[in-house]
Structure 1
Amino acid sequence: MTDQEDFVQAIGEFCRREVDRKQGPHSDELYGKLADLGWLGLSLPEEYGGSGRGMSDLVLFLEETAFWRAPIGGFATTIIAAAAYEKFGSEQQKREILPAVVGGSVLAISMSEPEAGSDVGALSCRAERRGDGWVINGQKTWCSNAHYADHILLVARTSPGQGKHEGMTMFSVPAGVDGLAVHGIDTMGGKEVNDLYFTDCVLPADAVVGRVDHGWRQLMTGLNLERMILAAVMLGTARRAFEDALDYVRERRQFGKPIGSFQALRHRLADHATELECARLLVHDVARKIEESPDTSLPREASMAKLKATEFAKAMALDGMQLLGGYGYATEYGMEALLRSAVVSTVYGGTSEIQRDIIGKTYGL
């Protein structure tokens, strides 16, 4: 058995023992246990307490924890934000943030605004110099996990007179800072996302992450990671929807035999199995390519992985609802929760339409 097979087996054994589907989207208790195992620092450098493992292992961890429905909703945004601190943060910021992430600290990242969603370059939340620091004013929205994050990585406009992709800067915002109000947004999945209101929020000069006015360039370097995280989570979600549907049609009997024996359903599951294998091969192949060339931008491949995994997860969970019939709507069976997770995955982190546009542009279209 390879190291990765041992790793996957260990995740499965942990989740079978510790995961309770009633724990909600994020359990501090279970998150702490993962921290004790060293798994939250899987992709972070060893010098900051991490394991220094590559994209392939991170994808495996995300896929398996999603498959077992582990309540670690804060992990995805944490790793995305942590990567920005690792690449662009000062040594002081790295020493403060990264070991805390390994120990269970949650991070959020805030880009979207009411008038700036897919068009992130249209953001208008302002950061103005005042004395030795900065003053933030404006609204952010759809910020995942901000209500329990220890730090929020904020992208704000620092030089409004420049082009739309110029004059942005990243800031490290500690939770509970004066001038920041966090309000949860009611959604199908509960309150997992938030509106953020900045009113004369004062940050010190050393809150800048990276270079002033270079926030857009810094964001672009993280796109491979963000899309692969989302692809891996939805690959695991799709696997769970498929396995749950398969188990059900094997056991559910109508007209004297299991409903999975009917050709109409058997063929649908065969198609889903084929699509699942295609998604799995694509996601893991792109992860391997990124691991082999970590400094190479792979916009086409990463967008393909995100597009394929999220769209298939949505289609699989939706048909899983149909295959389970009335039981698909029962929270006891969990398919409705998988559908809620899968539907929004085609929106956040760049919509499916944006991913298709990116892929098309890589072909000169």
Structure 2
Amino acid sequence: MPRVLSDERGDLVKAIADFCGRECGTKEQRDKLTANGAEHHNQQLYEKMAKLGWLGIAVPEEYGGAGRGMVDLSLFLQETSYGRAPISGFGTTIITAAAYEKFGTEAQKRTILEGVVNGRVESVSMSEPGAGSDVGALTCRAERTAGGYLVNGQKTWCSNAHFADHILLIARTEPGSAKHEGLTQFMVPADAEGLTIRGIDTMGGKEVNDLYFTDCFVPDSAVVGAPGKAWTQLMAGLNLERMILAAMMLGVARRAFDDTLAYVRQREQFGRPIGSFQALKHRIADMATELECAQLLLDDTAATIDAEPGKVFPREASMAKLKCTELAKHITLEGMQMMGGYGYATEYGMEALLRATVVSTVYGGTSEIQRDIIGKTYGL
């Protein structure tokens, strides 16, 4: 969608678009990179982006990154999503890296942040079978032992754990404490003894996992931040997580809109392009208008966060996540309807975009949770 960018940012967007067009611009290329759509991350492609310096776009310069802010990160996420680049590991990696940047030891920062720049993947595990939206209800426990902790319990819906280097685990270290107290973050190698990772079959393919911890030992040096203070640390990262998800889904929404527009322009029925019929023309107009609104909201929120990087913006970040994910789901559903049977066929790709957007209103805080957060900022 049209917007004003500086020359530097415009060059970045064009470079990403050219790369995606060249490396994964056709269905045949994407099928080869993703095992016919079953996988969502291709490590070779990911490492090509690392060599171009893109994966470190938001990593501080002292760790090899570009040290850019939310605006530039948002541009990267939107354009790679629009280009359908199979790099699903990037979102969770950046969310996780931010926690290490804020609260990790220098050794942890070196390992994680330099790894991000070089194309390594990280993951974070919060949810449990009985603790989804209510993260404070988690029961996976880490009990004190000589030189560290023994972790026992189950985590679930852990994105990308099956190809990550480490899991940023949130576990309960003080069982008798209040609900949001006594939680601690740990840096756990994905191949740690006592940790079993099992994939969960989903309509989207291989994305998420169950994690089973059985007397998994983690040393004291694995603690990220202050012991027992993980809840406060998690709250500090909410801007980033919600903005990442918003930017990714806005990119998908733009792609779905452009694909739909191209189809209704060329598809003819009753002697003329179907886009010339008022029923479809008006739907296209509404979709385009909503995309412009979402773009302005996302851009403004990203710029606001960059202007005050140490401040949390719960209302604005939740609005961006809510608007962009719900809009992406709406546009892909509309695209499938307007494309008819072709929207349902894997050849055209709309069904894959739809599957990607349906879950976006659930992960990272459901739409209902985002609305609740927004309402609370108004004193409700």
TM superposition score normalised by structure 2: 0.95
Q: What residue in structure 1 maps to residue 8 of structure 2?
A: 3
Q: Does 2:23 match 1:18?
A: yes
Q: What residue in structure 1 maps to residue 340 of structure 2?
A: 325
Q: Does 2:110 match 1:95?
A: yes
Q: What residue in structure 2 maps to residue 128 of structure 1?
A: 143
Aligned length: 365
Matches within 5 A, 1:145-156: 145-156=160-171
Q: What residue in structure 2 maps to residue 218 of structure 1?
A: 233
Q: 5+ unaligned residues in a row in structure 1: which ranges? A: none
Alignment-mate amino acid for residue 144 of structure 1? S
TM superposition score normalised by structure 1: 0.99
4+ long deviations beyond 4 Å: none
Match of 2:269 among 234, 254, 266: 254
Q: Secondary structure at the residue paired with 1:186?
A: coil
Q: What residue in structure 2 maps to residue 108 of structure 1?
A: 123
How many angstroms does 1:21 deviate by?
2.3
Structure 2 Cα separation of the partners of residues 97 and 328 of structure 1: 41
1:341-364 residue CA offsets vs partner (Å, 9 max, x unmatched): 101000000000000000000000
How large is the Cα RMSD of the aligned pairs? 0.6
Matches within 5 A, 1:1-365: 2-19=7-24, 20-22=29-31, 23-24=33-34, 25-365=40-380
How many angstroms does 1:265 deviate by?
0.3
Q: Secondary structure at the residue paired with 2:201?
A: strand
1:158-184 residue CA offsets vs partner (Å, 9 max, x unmatched): 001111100000000011110000000
Q: Secondary structure at the residue paired with 2:325?
A: helix
Q: 5+ unaligned residues in a row in structure 2: which ranges? A: 1-5, 35-39
1:175-206 residue CA offsets vs partner (Å, 9 max, x unmatched): 11100000000000112100000000001110
How many angstroms does 1:149 deviate by?
0.2
1:59-83 residue CA offsets vs partner (Å, 9 max, x unmatched): 0000000001000000000000000
Instruction: State, as a whole percentage, how many aligned pairs show the same letter.
Output: 69
Alignment-mate amino acid for residue 189 of structure 2? P
Alignment-mate amino acid for residue 8 of structure 1? V
Alignment-mate amino acid for residue 30 of structure 2? R
How many angstroms does 1:101 deviate by?
1.0
Structure 2 Cα separation of the partners of residues 339 and 289 of structure 1: 30
Structure 2 Cα separation of the partners of residues 191 and 135 of structure 1: 29
Alignment-mate amino acid for residue 329 of structure 2? K
